[in-house]
């Protein structure tokens, strides 16, 4: 994948903890509007890489640039403001609040009014609240959460909570969406729903998606491009059909024949 077309460019990133490398000279390009999957065995460094992109970890060395802006050293909040959102493997929602309230809270980064205006709820404050409420309602419709909008999140099924977690990330109006195992722990029907939403996010909202997922069937079916990590190093990259037949990838996963 050419860096010239890449929206996100990760260049020779090293991440070390106590002298041990979680990532070693990882270079990746994420193209705008594409679904790019990052796969690898447990402990390969996939989530560590997402943590570096989203600012939860600071890369020890190397560069991570989003639309030409260096991300290394920026806070998660600053990175979110640039247009990168993340749905977490461990659901990051307020379990005692409703779906609607969770999504409205996530949307707070788009509110731009003074403390005085917020006290009296007039002018810019009132207008922005209306605009943001309409945007959130649109996300609720898009993620087919209408029947759950007033439900308390902690009382919802695991599959629906994972869908709300994706909706929370979408309320930030991202250009790039990071999905960390969005289908983990789901049954077949729930997985099919999430796959459909990921494809719709790409097609209808033109949002680039970076996907970490252990279901290789899903990865090979929906990805435009795939990177493979093992022991913190990139061992392969390419279109799904090519990666699935790569000897290094097969050895890392199963030590047998092609993955597809």
**For residue 28, what are the β-bridge partners?**
10
In 110-143, which positions are buried (b, 16+ CB within 10 angstroms) versus exposed (e)?
eeebeeebeeeeeeebeebbeebeebbeebbebb
Neighbour count for residue 163 (Cβ, 10 Å): 24
Of 122, 148, 173, which closes a domain? 173
Token pair recorded at residue 48: 């560590």
Q: Both 169 and 179 in a single domain?
A: no
Q: Both 187 and 78 in a single domain?
A: yes
Q: Both 192 and 227 in a single domain?
A: yes
53/45 Cα distance (integer angstroms): 12
Q: Given this model, what pLDDT does residue 126 score?
A: 65
The enclosing H or E element of 162 equals helix 158-170
Q: Given this model, what pLDDT does residue 227 score?
A: 97
- CATH code, domain with 39: 3.40.50.300
Q: Given this model, what pLDDT does residue 125 score?
A: 60
Q: What is the DSSP string of 128-156?
A: HHHHHHHHHHHHHHHTT-GGGTTSBGGGS
206/202 Cα distance (integer angstroms): 5
Q: Given this model, what pLDDT does residue 49 score?
A: 97
Query: Using a CB cutoff of 8 Å and minimum separation of 24, what contacts does 242-246 make?
Result: 244/216, 244/220
Q: Both 258 and 129 in a single domain?
A: no
Q: Both 139 and 61 in a single domain?
A: no
Q: Both 75 and 182 in a single domain?
A: yes
Kindly give, in sequence order, each residue whose CB lies less than 8 Å from that of residue 123, ignoring residues fewer than 6 positions away: 113, 117
Q: Both 250 and 150 in a single domain?
A: no
Q: Given this model, what pLDDT does residue 129 score?
A: 74
Q: Both 213 and 223 in a single domain?
A: yes
Low-confidence ranges of the chain (pLDDT < 50): 2-4, 113-122
Q: Both 213 and 244 in a single domain?
A: yes
Q: Both 222 and 182 in a single domain?
A: yes
User: In terms of residue numbers, what domain contains 203?
Assistant: 1-83+174-260
Q: What's the domain count of the chain?
A: 2
Neighbour count for residue 213 (Cβ, 10 Å): 24
Q: What is the DSSP string of 186-245?
A: --HHHHHHHHHHHHHHHHHH--EEEEE-S-HHHHHHH-SEEEEEETTEEEEEESHHHHHT
Q: Given this model, what pLDDT does residue 119 score?
A: 41
Q: Given this model, what pLDDT does residue 120 score?
A: 44
Of 124, 158, 173, which closes a domain? 173
Of 146, 173, 200, which closes a domain? 173
Q: Given this model, what pLDDT does residue 258 score?
A: 56
Q: Given this model, what pLDDT does residue 21 score?
A: 95
Q: Given this model, what pLDDT does residue 11 score?
A: 98
Q: Both 205 and 158 in a single domain?
A: no
Q: Both 48 and 96 in a single domain?
A: no
């Amino acid at each position: 994948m050419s860096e010239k077309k890449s929206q996100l460019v990760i260049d020779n990133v090293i991440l070390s903890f106590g002298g041990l490398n979680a990532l070693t000279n990882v270079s990746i390009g994420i193209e705008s509007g594409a679904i790019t999957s990052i796969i690898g065995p447990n402990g390969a460094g996939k989530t560590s890489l997402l943590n570096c992109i989203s600012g939860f970890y600071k890369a020890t060395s190397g560069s991570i640039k989003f639309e030409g802006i260096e991300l290394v050293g920026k806070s998660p909040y600053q990175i979110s403001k640039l247009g990168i959102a993340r749905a977490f493997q461990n659901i990051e929602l307020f379990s005692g609040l409703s779906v609607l309230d969770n999504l409205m809270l996530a949307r707070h980064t788009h509110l731009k009014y003074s403390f005085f205006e917020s006290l009296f709820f007039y002018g810019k404050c009132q207008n922005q609240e209306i605009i943001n409420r309409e945007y959130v309602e649109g996300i609720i419709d898009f993620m087919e959460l209408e029947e759950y909008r007033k439900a308390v999140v902690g009382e919802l099924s695991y599959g629906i909570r994972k869908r709300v977690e994706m909706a929370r990330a979408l309320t930030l109006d991202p250009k790039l969406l990071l999905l960390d195992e969005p289908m983990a722990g789901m049954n077949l029907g729930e997985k099919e729903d999430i796959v459909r939403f990921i494809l719709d996010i790409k097609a209808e909202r033109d949002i680039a998606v970076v996907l970490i997922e252990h279901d290789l069937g899903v990865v090979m079916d929906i990805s435009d491009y795939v990177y493979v990590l093992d022991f913190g190093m990139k061992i392969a990259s390419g279109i799904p059909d090519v990666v699935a037949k790569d000897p290094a990838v097969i050895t890392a996963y199963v030590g047998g024949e092609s993955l597809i």
